Amino acid sequence: MTQSTPLRALYINCSLEKKPADSHTRRLIEHSAAVIRQAGVEVDQVHALEHQIAFGMKPDMTEHGWDRDDWPALFERVMAADILVLGTPIWLGVKSSVCTQVIERLYSSSGEKNEQGQYLYYGKAGGCLVTGNEDGVKACSMEILYALQHIGYSVPPQADAGWIGEAGPGPSYGDPVEGSDVPTGFGNEFTNRNTTFMAWNLIHMARLLRKAGGFPVGGNQGSEWERGTRSGYPLDSDGRPAG
* Cα dist from 182 to 67, 99, 230, whole Å: 45, 29, 56
Residue 124 has pLDDT above 80, yes or no: yes
Q: Residue type at 111?
A: G
User: What integer is the mean pLDDT of 7-23?
Assistant: 96
Measured torsion, CA atoms of residues 204, 207, 213, 216, in degrees rounded to the nearest 10: 0
Domains belonging to the chain, first-starting first, are 8-212 (3.40.50.360), 216-243 (no CATH)
* Residue 9 β-bridge partners: 43, 83
Mean pLDDT estimate for the chain: 91
Q: What is the pLDDT of residues 214-237, one digit of tens each?
A: 999 988 888 777 776 555 556 666
Write out the DSSP string of the chain. --TTSPPEEEEEE--S-SSGGG-HHHHHHHHHHHHHHHTT-EEEEEEGGGS-PPPSSSS-GGGGT-S---HHHHHHHHHH-SEEEEEEEEETTEE-HHHHHHHHHHHTTTTSB-TTSSBTTTT-EEEEEEEESSS-HHHHHHHHHHHHHHTT-B--TT-EEEEE-SSSSS--TT---TT-SS-TTTT-HHHHHHHHHHHHHHHHHHHHHHHTTSSPPSS--HHHHHTTEETTEEB-TTSSB--
Residue 243 has pLDDT above 60, yes or no: no
Q: What is the pLDDT of residues 31-88, one digit of tens each?
A: 999 999 999 999 999 999 999 999 999 999 999 999 999 999 999 999 999 999 999 9
208-212 contacts, C-beta under 8 A, 24 or more apart: 209/82, 209/123, 209/124, 209/125, 209/154, 210/1, 210/3, 210/7, 210/82, 211/3
Pick the more confident residue, 2 or 220: 220
Model confidence at 183, in pLDDT bands (50, 70, 90)? confident
Residue 2 has pLDDT above 60, yes or no: no
The answer to whether 130 and 88 have CB atoms below 8 angstroms apart is yes
Beta-carbon-side half-sphere exposure of residue 179 (alpha carbons within 13 Å)? 0
Predicted pLDDT at 228? 67
Predicted pLDDT at 182? 83
* Cα dist from 26 to 31, 72, 108, 165, whole Å: 9, 23, 26, 16
Residue 23: name the closest of 139, 147, 130 by CA.
130
Predicted pLDDT at 140? 96
The span from the CA of 205 to the CA of 130, in Å, is 21
Q: What is the pLDDT of residues 128-173, one digit of tens each?
A: 999 998 889 999 999 999 999 999 999 999 999 999 988 777 888 8
Residue 197 has pLDDT above 90, yes or no: yes
Burial class of residue 178, CB neighbours in 10 A (0-12, 13-18, 19+): exposed
